[in-house]
């Protein structure tokens, strides 16, 4: 039988797909099992955490681990609500501000004409390779020099320029037809009005994608709490969860650690599920030339 | 004259700079300056208290000639780790994306979610869970499984044994980087490729899925492939912090000491910031070279 091609994005299930599923199953299991493990471990009662031989799945789920987690924070000087507040404040400001910054820059780089535009585009593309851990020391010195050590600004400012976010947003704005924008200019709109009334509504998928990428980075980040903030009361939830999990490495603490990991995982998961269509839509334009 | 700023009409629209200013100001302070400072500091001796003193290429010279730990452990570890987790993880994530693209939407979405989930856990918060899995006594999950399967008779002290430490870090590195943003870019790229290309190829004699992948899928989405490659290189090097989270810094016997751990060791433990900066510059250089190779591979012409 001649090969027909045309296998991409099939509408229906057919038998030939079973081969594919079987072939990738080992990798799917490898990727998925640790998550299944956290979920199970987080709900295990004490005797199951101690069980020998160890059991992967929970048989009598309980909320004990979560309960212990909250109690542990009450014993420490700083209540957990403080860390939650810090994280929510930091992440809200970072996501909103960096989206404003990257959409503005993305609009200019994509649709406005001015000298040196290509240079700015190239600088940002080169910065896709930027690895923040490689320059943690100079960054630390910069933050010291600015005098924002031990403030919320130390959590916020380093994240605002995210090259990947600008890159994806700019690529997406490139797809907005010029004719739409020109029509608005002819009607007398200025650059800022075009940005607000035309660009922003049309690039919502890219904004959603950038939002989730930034959220993921900042939500689990430990570096700002580790290096730039000494004041316990100003540190983030990720840092607190990590300290708690690392401080309780005995068997009883493991359940708490799993509960902590689950708490950190759930917000990301919900955002991803809600925004998955936007993400795939944006990623289609992610090509780098 | 009526002021008219239009996409096609005004050649030097000053508003452009106004729109760029906030982003690039922060970019300048937190990305550009630190990189320049790293390069500058790499030529100095700096203990973070006294003003840095210029030493020329001494740090680089020491790195190559005197730093036995770097040459014997850190560099080989990093190369091994980066080659497996970088290209290896990249190939795996391409194959997975390619396989997923051939499944109907519902199954594809569930699988994509599973593959992407490690990215959502945040590698560092997960390390405690890996510690439980690789726990060194018989109550550790891996030990218990291997013993019940009869592969081993005695529990292995995974995270202390220098023989197993790097492979474990590589496995975790792969786990946390296969299904990242690069994977999503490739998947979206394949799903959006032009269907008529496939029809034409079938007429031209493409015989099976693999030929289709080599002759059509990959060439038609080189830009996404390059973006994903850069993301996986960066991800591979960034994930290096796993080793010290699993154990200590330095890792036992330097068995899983990677270049980012070496930077942290010198910068924040020994406070030899000039030297640490030189190592950072080497790291940025390595990433630059890897990205350059990817660009050669996936350039459009």
The predicted pLDDT at position B123 comes to 53
Residues of chain A where predicted confidence (pLDDT) is lower than 70: 1-7, 248-249, 251-252
Q: What fold, for A70-285? A: MetI-like fold (1.10.3720)
Beta strands in chain B (DSSP E): 44-45, 53-54
B108: pLDDT strictly greater than 70 = yes
Give the pLDDT confidence score for residue B60 in this predicted structure: 95
Under the phi-then-psi rule, with left for phi > 0, alpha for psi from -120 to 50, and beta for the rest, what region is A147? left
CB contact residues (below 8 A), chain B span 75-94, against chain A: 92
User: What is the C-alpha separation between B301 and B294, in angstroms, rounded?
Assistant: 14
Q: How do residues B19-63 score in pLDDT, each as one tens digit?
A: 999 999 999 999 999 999 999 999 999 887 888 899 999 999 999
Give the whole-angstrom CA distance, residue A15 versus residue A260: 42
**pLDDT category of residue B86 using cuts at 50, 70 and 90:** confident
Gap from B163 CA to chain A (nearest CA, Å): 22
Long-range pairs for A265-268 at CB < 8 Å and ≥24 separation? A265/A35, A265/A38, A265/B117, A265/B120, A265/B121, A267/A215, A267/A219, A268/A212, A268/A215, A268/A216, A268/A219, A268/A220, A268/B120, A268/B121, A268/B122
Cβ atoms of B177 and B89 closer than 8 Å? yes
Closest C-alpha to B281, from B47, B39, B30: B39
**Band of residue B3 on the pLDDT scale cut at 50, 70, 90:** very low
A286–B267 C-beta distance less than 8 A: no
The maximal CA–CA distance of chain B, rounded, in angstroms, is 88
H helix intervals, B158-241: 162-177, 181-191, 195-203, 209-212, 218-220, 222-238
Give A40's contacts in chain B (Cβ within 8 Å): none
Residue B2: the pLDDT is 39
B268 touches chain A (CB under 8 A): yes
Residue range B221-275, pLDDT digits in tens: 888 889 999 888 888 887 677 888 888 888 888 899 999 899 988 988 888 989 9
- Pairwise CB contact (< 8 Å): A276 & B141: no
Q: Which residues of A226-248 are buried (b: 16+ CB within 10 A; e: fewer)?
A: bbbbeeeebbbbbbbbbbbbeeb
Query: Which chain B residues have a beta carbon less than 8 Å from that of A128?
Result: 227, 230-231, 234
Q: Closest Cα partner for A223 from B26, B246, B42, B241?
A: B241
Q: Report the distance separating Cα B53 and Cα B41, nearest Å.
A: 9
Residue with tokens 């980066």: B82
CA–CA separation, B244 vs A133, rounded Å? 13
Q: Is B212 on the interface with A (CB under 8 A)?
A: yes
**pLDDT for the residue B94:** 93
For tokens 């982003």, the residue is B23
Whole-angstrom distance, CA of residue A23 vs CA of residue A28:
10
Distance separating alpha carbons of residues B154 and B144, to the nearest angstrom = 10
pLDDT of residue A6: 54
Average pLDDT, chain B: 86
pLDDT score at A3:
54
State the SS3 of B133-154: HCCCCCCCHHHHHHHHCCCCCC
In chain A, which residues have their Cβ closer than 8 Å to the Cβ of B149?
none
Predicted local confidence at residue B47, as pLDDT: 85
Q: For chain A, give every domain's residue range.
A: 2-62, 70-285
C-alpha Rg value of chain A to the nearest Å? 24
- A65's tokens: 């681990």
The rounded distance, in Å, linking the Cα atoms of B275 and B38 is 10
pLDDT at residue A34, rounded to an integer: 87
Interval A201-251: pLDDT, tens: 999 999 998 998 899 889 988 889 988 999 989 999 988 888 877 776 676
The Cα of A196 is separated from the nearest Cα of chain B by a number of Å equal to: 12
Q: Which residues of A58-78 are buried (b: 16+ CB within 10 A; e: fewer)?
A: beeeeebbbebbeebbeeeeb
Tell me the two tokens of residue A182. 């020109």
Chain A interface test: which of B14, B129, B199 (most A C-beta within 10 Å): B129
CB contact under 8 Å between B224 and A287, yes or no, is yes
Question: How far is residue B82 from each of residues A160, B74, B95, B120, measured CA to CA in Å?
Answer: 28, 12, 19, 22
Residue-level pLDDT at A169 = 94
Q: Three-state SS for B14?
A: coil
Averaged over B107-130, what is the pLDDT? Answer: 82
End-to-end, the C-alpha distance of chain B in Å comes to 45
Distance CA(B180)–CA(A176), nearest Å, equals: 27
According to DSSP, residue A203 is labeled T
Per-residue model confidence (pLDDT) at position A88: 95
DSSP B52: P
pLDDT for B124 equals: 53
Q: Which of B33, B48, B264, B19 is nearest to A157 (CA)?
A: B33
CA angle in degrees (0–180, nearest 5) for B155-B134-B181 = 155
Mean pLDDT of B172-185: 87
Interface of B with A in 127-166 (CB under 8 A): 128-133, 138-141, 144, 148
Q: Token pair of A1, please?
A: 């039988």
């Amino acid at each position: 039988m001649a090969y027909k091609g045309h296998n991409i994005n099939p509408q229906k299930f057919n038998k030939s797909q079973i081969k594919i599923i079987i072939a990738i199953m080992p990798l799917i299991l490898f990727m998925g099992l640790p998550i299944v493990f956290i979920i199970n471990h987080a709900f295990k009662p004490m005797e199951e955490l101690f069980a020998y031989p160890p059991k992967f799945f929970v048989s009598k789920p309980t909320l004990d681990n979560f309960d212990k987690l909250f109690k542990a924070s009450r014993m420490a000087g700083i209540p957990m609500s403080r860390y939650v507040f810090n994280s929510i404040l930091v992440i809200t400001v970072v996501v909103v501000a960096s989206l404003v910054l990257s959409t503005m820059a993305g609009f200019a780089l994509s649709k406005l004409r001015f000298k040196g535009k290509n240079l700015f585009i190239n600088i940002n593309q080169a910065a896709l390779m930027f690895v923040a851990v490689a320059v943690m020391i100079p960054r630390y010195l910069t933050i010291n020099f600015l005098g924002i050590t031990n403030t919320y600004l130390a959590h916020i400012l380093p994240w605002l320029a995210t090259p990947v976010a600008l890159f994806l947003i700019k690529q997406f704005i490139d797809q907005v037809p010029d004719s739409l924008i020109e029509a608005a200019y002819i009607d007398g709109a200025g650059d800022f009005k075009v940005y607000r009334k035309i660009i922003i509504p049309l690039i919502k998928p890219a904004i959603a994608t950038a939002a989730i990428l930034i959220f993921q980075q900042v939500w689990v980040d430990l570096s700002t709490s580790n290096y730039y903030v000494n004041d316990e009361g100003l540190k983030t939830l990720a840092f607190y969860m990590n300290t708690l999990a690392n401080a309780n490495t005995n068997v009883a603490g493991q359940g708490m650690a799993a509960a902590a990991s689950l708490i950190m995982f759930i917000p990301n998961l919900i955002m991803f599920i809600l925004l998955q269509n936007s993400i795939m839509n944006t990623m289609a334009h992610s090509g780098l030339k | 004259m009526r002021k008219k700023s239009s996409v096609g009409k005004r050649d030097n629209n000053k508003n452009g700079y106004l729109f760029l200013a906030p982003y690039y100001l922060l970019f300048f302070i937190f990305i550009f300056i630190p990189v320049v400072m790293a390069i500058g500091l790499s030529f100095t001796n700096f203990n973070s208290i006294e003003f840095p003193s210029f030493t020329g290429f001494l740090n680089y010279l020491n790195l190559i000639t005197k730093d036995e730990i770097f040459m014997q452990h850190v560099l080989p570890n990093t190369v091994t780790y980066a080659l497996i987790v970088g290209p290896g993880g990249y190939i795996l994530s391409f194959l997975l994306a390619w396989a997923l693209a051939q499944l109907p939407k519902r199954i594809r979405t569930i699988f994509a979610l599973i593959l992407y989930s490690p990215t959502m856990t945040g590698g560092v918060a997960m390390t405690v869970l890996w510690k439980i899995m690789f726990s060194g006594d018989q109550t550790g999950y891996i030990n218990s499984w291997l013993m019940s399967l009869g592969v081993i008779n005695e529990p292995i002290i995974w995270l202390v044994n220098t023989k197993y430490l790097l492979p474990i870090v590589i496995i975790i590195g792969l786990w946390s980087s296969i299904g990242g943003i690069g994977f999503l870019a490739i998947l979206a790229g394949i799903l959006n490729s032009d269907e008529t290309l496939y029809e034409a190829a079938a007429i031209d004699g493409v015989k099976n899925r693999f030929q289709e992948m080599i002759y059509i899928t990959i060439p038609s989405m080189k830009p996404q492939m390059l973006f994903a490659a850069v993301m996986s290189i960066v991800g591979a090097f960034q994930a290096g912090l796993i080793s010290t989270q699993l154990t200590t810094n330095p890792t036992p016997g330097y068995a899983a000491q990677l270049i980012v751990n070496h930077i942290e060791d010198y910068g924040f433990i020994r406070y030899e910031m000039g030297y640490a900066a030189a190592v950072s510059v080497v790291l940025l250089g390595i990433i630059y070279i890897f990205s350059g190779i990817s660009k050669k591979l996936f350039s459009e012409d």
